[in-house]
Amino acid sequence: MESIDRLIGQLALDSQIRPSDIPKIDLYVDQVIQLFDTAFHDTKRYPDDKILTKTMINNYAKGKLFYPVQHKKYTPDHIMLISLIYQMKSTLSINDVKKVLEKVNEQAQARDLDLSEFYEAYLGLQQDNHAAFKEELERQAKAVAHAQNEESGELSKVLFIASLVHKSNLYRRAAEKLADELVREEADGKNSY
């Protein structure tokens, strides 16, 4: 279990932008990038990896993944939306992210949604996910050790990787189905919020 604890430590699960990390003033794009680089630095796979770039942010804006900025400045609400996009884009397509966040954007822009409260709820769920993830990772490691009777560390690691990839695919597919359901409900005039 020591190797699992080491792995979990390397994942930097606590890397996140909390509302208290976001300045109360509007930021220019370079400041937004710096905020994300600072918050998610430990999550990089390779040192040269980019967390967020101007091009990414511009593409999110052009794709209407968040409501328009004013005077080239990003509000705290924009930062929270970009953080949600950043988290979702690694699993969902950009089109799915746009669909999922569409009503959130509309309500946040109209001030019908306290985005800070919504985002705090997301961060709370994220903390619960971290605890469940650690337990599940430990359970998976035990299952792999049980299934792999021989002492081959490499084969056990391959089996563990394959199992984790499968579980990741299951979660991705579930998220995609829920995104599709959200779009269908909206098309049918049902409000799922």
Q: Model confidence over 122-141: pLDDT tens digits?
A: 999 999 999 999 999 999 98
Q: What's the pTM value of the predicted model, to 2 decimals?
A: 0.89
Confidence of residue 5 (pLDDT cuts 50, 70, 90): confident
Q: Band of the pLDDT at 153, cuts 50, 70, 90?
A: confident
Structure tokens at 41: 């630095």
Read off the pLDDT of residues 79-133 as tens digits, 9 standing for 90 and up.
Answer: 999 999 999 999 999 999 999 999 999 999 999 999 999 999 999 999 999 999 9
The answer to whether residues 16 and 1 touch, using CB atoms and an 8 Å cutoff, is no
Number of CB atoms found within 10 A of residue 57's CB: 21
140-146 contact pairs (CB < 8 A, 24+): 140/164, 140/167, 141/1, 141/3, 141/4
**Domain count for the chain:** 1
Show the domain range for 173: 4-191
pLDDT in tens, 30-78: 999 999 999 999 999 999 999 999 999 999 999 999 999 999 999 999 9
